[in-house]
Amino acid sequence: MALMRCPACGNQVSSNATTCPQCGHPLKKGGGGLTFWGVVGAIIVAVIIISVVG
Ligand SMILES: [Zn+2]
């Protein structure tokens, strides 16, 4: 568990926090966006494969 700095208010918050407890600014978690697009990409690839196969 590490501390990171809130980009909005500069408060030190836990890297596990999704929002800053002081100002409520949403904090980006490393890899979260990649996971979302990974799921979307996998679904698109699956749909293409299914439509091609049959
Ligand atoms: Zn903040």
Domain ranges in the chain are 3-53
Residue 30: what pLDDT?
Answer: 55
Helix or strand run (H / E) with residue 30: none
Q: Are 27 and 13 in contact (CB under 8 A)?
A: yes
Residue 54: what pLDDT?
Answer: 77
* Ligand 1 centroid, distance to 25 Cα (angstroms): 5
| 3-state class percentages of the chain: helix first, strand second, coil last, to nearest 5 | 40, 15, 45
Count of CB atoms situated within 10 Å of the CB of 12: 10
pLDDT in tens, 15-33: 888 899 999 998 876 545 5
Residue 11: what pLDDT?
Answer: 94
Residue 16: what pLDDT?
Answer: 86
* Ligand 1 centroid, distance to 10 Cα (angstroms): 6
- Does residue 1 register a pLDDT over 90? no
Both tokens of 15, joined, read 């890297």
pLDDT over 70, % of the chain: 87
* Ligand 1 centroid, distance to 32 Cα (angstroms): 19
* Ligand 1 centroid, distance to 9 Cα (angstroms): 4
- Does residue 43 register a pLDDT over 80? yes
